[in-house]
Chain A
Amino acid sequence: MGDLRDLSVSQQVGLLFVVVFGLLALVTIVAFGRSLRDLTPEQTALRERFARELRALWFAAVLFWIAWVSGPLGSTLLFGFVSFVALREFVTLTHTRRADHRSLLLAFFVVLPLQYVLVGLRLANAFTVFIPVYVFFAIPVISALANDPFRFLERTAKIQWGITVTVYGMSHAPALLLLDLPRYRERGAFLVLFLVFVVVAAQLGQEAATRRLRRRPVARAISRSFSWRAFGAGVAASAVVGLLLSWVTPFNPLAAIAMAAIAGAAGTLGEFVMKALKRDAGVRSWSGASSVTGAVGLLDRVAPLCFAAPVFFHSVRGYFGI
């Protein structure tokens, strides 16, 4: 590991991408080889699902690579666009009324860009209070001016919740790029990758555990698969990945484990909350045939990140006392 630390920052990132793309290529080749055999319809369905997930991973990896090549500006724009698509999906599935039109315009075309501008300008204090304070105030005012009291609290709360998750939460991921940590300048990209990897590890760990241990679900009405044991397995998986990746982070191994566990736990619990939301909206998955609109299904994938990013961001800040 000592040799790795001697490499320049861009060499390290480059190495990381080589490893990631290499692994993806390997998995794709193996999956393709296995798809050539005869399969039962059940296996085909499973395979198709796997292929879809793999395509999403490729897409995400390429996006990250583009974000890294184009620097902090590029990644801020990239996350801003992801926020936009996620919010679009969220709003599609909530019942808004005509009177919400102006509030929604404000959310999409003012709040979202401004939040990312604040992130890009490294105004850490401004961007952490902009949405909880100013937008919290502005949205109900605009909605009230539209002169429609029907389910006012419900409508306003939904819009604010959507903004908080998809814009505020998500914007903390590119904000990691811009943190000024001691002896860790220009290496924010690692922190973002670290965050994404541990969150994904927690998801995968939890899913694998659910399949093996058939535990009693904690909240059957919301998720048939969520159990504390599986959750623990997910957090453990993220802690292991955190330890393995500790060499790219500014943390010592113990702190890396703790940070990874925090982010992984926040991510999986966030996904659990999203499941509750989906049940409420009456869809099984944001994507697929069951959806009202044939939404793209991005929200599903980024929701854990939206929940984990702010928690992780403030944990890092707290740890370094900045």
Chain B
Amino acid sequence: MKLPEAAGLALAFIARLITGAQGHWHGSTPKAEQRIYFANHQSHFDWVLIWAALPHDLRAATRPIAARDYWTASPFKHWLTREVFNAVYVSRQRAKDGVVEEEDPLEPLMEALRHGDSLVIFPEGTRGHAADPAPFKSGLYALAQAFPDVQLIPAWIDNVQRVMPKGEVVPVPILCTVVFGAAVALQPGEERRAFLDRARRAVMALREVA
């Protein structure tokens, strides 16, 4: 076993020790199909939780999205996201000084999906602290349009904001669950806003199940 793999196992173990990281599947099953998981976002811990809640053999093919400027800033962060999590890096600023950069921020995601990988995305864009998730950004819609064959699985992450509130570094052991729901498909001719709202409701509906 190589170091990144061992580090991954250790991290999953710690996540389970601290949060239980229980995955509940309602309407979909943990299968090795190409998928985009989309979830509510409240903490830095969210990704680790989803990742630890997935069965071991799905973890390697399921990749997070990481902001390039932050997650490549130090050698350790870079190593962690590149080697352990196999993250997809995106650049945060699209327009700098009024000049639009050439690269579409979604391009790395598209590349990963063409490659056959599964992704975990947080369509709110940023960590929220309200009870309900913020309106979804349009990236999910673009991905759903470009890859109609990839399943879109909503997920609700419960309790994680109590584990590590914004600004704290050490997590408190509190049980968390991740509820995965039934796949949401883009209907023919569905409007962007309507689809994003429907996807958001699909995530929120899982809160009742949790």
Contacts and interface: CB of A to CB of B under 8 A. Distances in A.
A49 interface: no
B158 interface: yes
Interface string B166-185: 00101011111100000000
Given A96-B162, A98-B165, A293 B172 contact: no
A157 B158 CA distance: 25
Is the contact region of chain B dominated by helix, strand, or loop, or is it mixed? loop
A293 B173 contact: no
A98 B172 CA distance: 11
Contact of A92 (B168, B170, B175): B175
B35 interface: no
Given A295-B20, A296-B20, A92 B172 contact: no
Given A96-B162, A98-B165, A293-B159, A88 B173 contact: yes
How many chain B residues sit at the interface, stated as a range, is 10 to 19
Given A108-B172, A294-B177, 14 more contacts: A88-B174, A88-B175, A91-B173, A91-B174, A98-B165, A109-B170, A292-B158, A292-B159, A293-B20, A293-B22, A293-B177, A293-B210, A294-B210, A296-B175
Nearest to B165: A98
A124 to B, nearest CB: 28
B176 A293 contact: yes
Nearest to A100: B172
Contacts of A294: 20, 22, 24, 175, 177, 210
A104 interface: yes
Contacts of A88: 18, 20, 173-175
A211 to B, nearest CB: 32
Nearest to B158: A293
Interface of B: 18, 20, 22, 24, 158-159, 162, 165, 168, 170, 172-177, 210
B162 A293 contact: no
A309 B176 CA distance: 30
7 contacts: A84-B173, A91-B173, A105-B172, A108-B172, A293-B20, A294-B20, A295-B20
Contact of A91 (B24, B172, B177): B172
B163 to A, nearest CB: 9
A104 B177 contact: no
B172 to A, nearest CB: 4
A194 B175 CA distance: 32
Interface string A291-308: 011111000000000000
A317 interface: no
Contacts of B24: 294
Given A101-B168, A105-B170, A295 B175 contact: yes
Residue among B22, B159, B162, B210 with most chain A CB within 10 A: B162
Interface in A47-102: 84, 87-89, 91-92, 96, 98, 101
Contacts of A84: 173
Nearest to A93: B175
A197 to B, nearest CB: 29
A92 B177 contact: no
Nearest to B23: A294
A91 B176 CA distance: 12
Contacts of B22: 293-294
A11 B204 CA distance: 58
A94 B170 CA distance: 20
Contacts of A293: 20, 22, 158-159, 175-177, 210
7 closest cross-chain pairs (CB), A and B: A92-B175, A104-B172, A88-B173, A293-B175, A98-B165, A294-B177, A92-B174
Interface string A102-145: 00110011000000000000000000000000000000000000
Contacts of A105: 170, 172
Interface string A20-58: 000000000000000000000000000000000000000
Interface string A274-313: 0000000000000000001111100000000000000000
